[in-house]
Chain A
Amino acid sequence: MSPVFSHGRLRLYLLKLLEESPRHGYDVIRLLEDRFMGMYAPSPGTIYPRLQRLEAEGLVTQTKEGGRKVYQITDAGRAELAARHDELDELEAEISGSVHGMAREIRDEVRGTVRDLKQELKQAAREIRREQRHENRSRRDQGGDQRWDWYDQSVDGRLWYFLDRTQKAIRRAQLTEAQVRECAAILDEALERIRNVLKQSPDTEEGSR
């Protein structure tokens, strides 16, 4: 099941909740928690952007009531809901049918949330990096971003090459216990030697642990 599709299902359910009646954002969250049988409560941070997107698409509108936003479905929202009625029924049947369906629904929901979040954070990070680089460049005309691309190619690439080749080699062989022990010793030694090399570098007085 594609995450895009499954994520569209929560959106469908949001529309359904708002079709029943106009609601505060927090009511929407509470109802979603009920729907997931208390196993999972989406946070304001994950629901808010989705309501915003529905609003941008003209499927819901929003009014302020005593400092809180109240969301309401539009005719366009009703039309979308009507057009996807079968999908909604199917979804309901799947969830009420089994814990398995429920678990899958929660997983798909988290997957969608995470995908959106990753995109949002990646973009925001890129922006502040760009701003900062710009500031730095105007402060002194040299410097810039000195990311060492060769590092990725030479070490990271090699690690993957190593894993890939080891997998192929081991698959072909029938491993004995002695061989396993010997392989483990080689790996330990390699790690030790890599650590020693890194100890000589001036940049590691503060490790990553």
Chain B
Amino acid sequence: MASWTIDEPGKRELDPVDRVLVQLIEGAVSVVGSDGPPTLEVSELQGEPLSVRQEGGALTVDYEHPGRSGLLAWLTSRGKRKAVLTLAVPRDCRVELQVVSASLMAGGLRAPVLAKTVSGEITLAGLGGAAEAETVSGAVQASAISGDLSAATVSGEITVAEGGGSVRAKTISGAIAIDLGPSGDRDIQLSSVSGDLTVRVPEASDLEVKLQSTSGQVASAFGQLELDRTPGRHAARGRLGSGTGRLRASSTSGHVALLRRAPEVL
């Protein structure tokens, strides 16, 4: 097992990795899949040095004295511990990032990615494996996601451009906006308390649809859905195409809208 500490910005080549775990407090963590050798680049460091350990294919970057983690750490944090780092890893490396207020980015990976932060923003780009993003007040933004995506926030917005797989997105007061690419058999589940839910799907979609909001308005650009507007429950349901996939969007007081995407000619 190799282990060392980092107390100043710099770049270092790593032994082969197939699994990465990063646990930090503040700053920014980016992990990108690359064909080159795995590297760790620290571009900013304040406060306590980072501890790095490599055992087998598992790489861990964290602090020697981690203290409290999660929301409680954020609520109680006093001293500043900030790090900005970027990891280049093989594309099929599993990635797990757990930070307090740092922003997170993962791109160009085929293996599962887990990203958790309390108040930071999460960016996912070009992911092929299952991706899970969780933040309390930060936003989740994703583009070119071909694997399944699960995202949860309390007040942050969730936006997905070009989602290819199944999507589960959940928020309390943030808005969810999702643009789905063409694909057949998938399960889309969106829910919010007060945030608006907006989904755009290709004109030729195969989805069994159920949209509802207790006090918000439910609107659909597809005429074949049946609208139900009894007080206390606005809903739309029906089938698009062969209905092999599933779309559920449900909100308490947010608006729910299903939009149609015209085919593009490039």
Contacts and interface: CB of A to CB of B under 8 A. Distances in A.
Q: Which of A42, A43, A45, A152 is the most central at the interface, judged by chain B CB atoms within 10 Å of its CB?
A: A45
Given A152-B194, A206-B212, A208-B251, A103 B219 contact: no
Q: Which of B108, B143, B192, B250 is the most central at the interface, judged by chain A CB atoms within 10 Å of its CB?
A: B143
Q: Which range holds the interface residue count of chain A?
A: 35 or more
B23 interface: no
Interface string B218-237: 01110000010101110000
B86 A46 contact: no
A169 to B, nearest CB: 9
Interface string A141-175: 00101111001100110011000001100110001
B193 A98 contact: no
A147 B88 contact: no
Nearest to B168: A209
Interface of B is mostly: strand
Q: Which range holds the interface residue count of chain B?
A: 35 or more
Contacts of A54: none
B184 interface: no
Contacts of A124: 198, 200, 221, 257, 259
Given A45-B261, A98-B86, A100-B30, A40 B217 contact: no
Given A99-B34, A129-B257, A170-B75, A151 B41 contact: no
Interface in B53-108: 72, 75-76, 86-88, 105, 107-108
B126 interface: yes
Nearest to B253: A151
Contacts of B172: 156, 159
Interface string B154-192: 010101011000000010110101010100000001011
Contacts of A159: 172-173
A69 to B, nearest CB: 6
Interface stretch (A5-13, A74-82, A85-93, A105-113): A105-113
Q: Which of A26, A41, A103, A129 is the most central at the interface, judged by chain B CB atoms within 10 Å of its CB?
A: A103
A136 B141 contact: no
Interface string A20-60: 00001110010000001111111111111001000000000
A170 to B, nearest CB: 5
Contact of B179 (A98, A121, A146, A156): A121
Contacts, number: 198
Contacts of B142: 110, 114
A117 B142 CA distance: 11
Contacts of B198: 121-122, 124-125
B144 A42 contact: yes
A107 B30 contact: yes
Interface of A: 24-26, 29, 36-48, 51, 67-69, 98-100, 102-104, 106-107, 109-111, 113-114, 117-118, 121-122, 124-125, 128-129, 131-133, 136, 143, 145-148, 151-152, 155-156, 159-160, 166-167, 170-171, 175, 180, 202-203, 206-209
Interface of B: 11, 30-35, 39, 41, 43, 72, 75-76, 86-88, 105, 107-108, 123-126, 141-144, 155, 157, 159, 161-162, 170, 172-173, 175, 177, 179, 181, 189, 191-194, 196, 198, 200, 212, 214-217, 219-221, 227, 229, 231-233, 250-253, 255, 257, 259, 261, 264-266
27 contacts: A39-B33, A39-B125, A45-B161, A46-B162, A99-B30, A103-B86, A106-B32, A106-B123, A110-B161, A111-B123, A117-B159, A117-B179, A122-B198, A124-B257, A125-B198, A128-B220, A128-B257, A129-B257, A146-B231, A147-B255, A148-B253, A151-B194, A160-B155, A180-B72, A203-B232, A208-B170, A208-B251
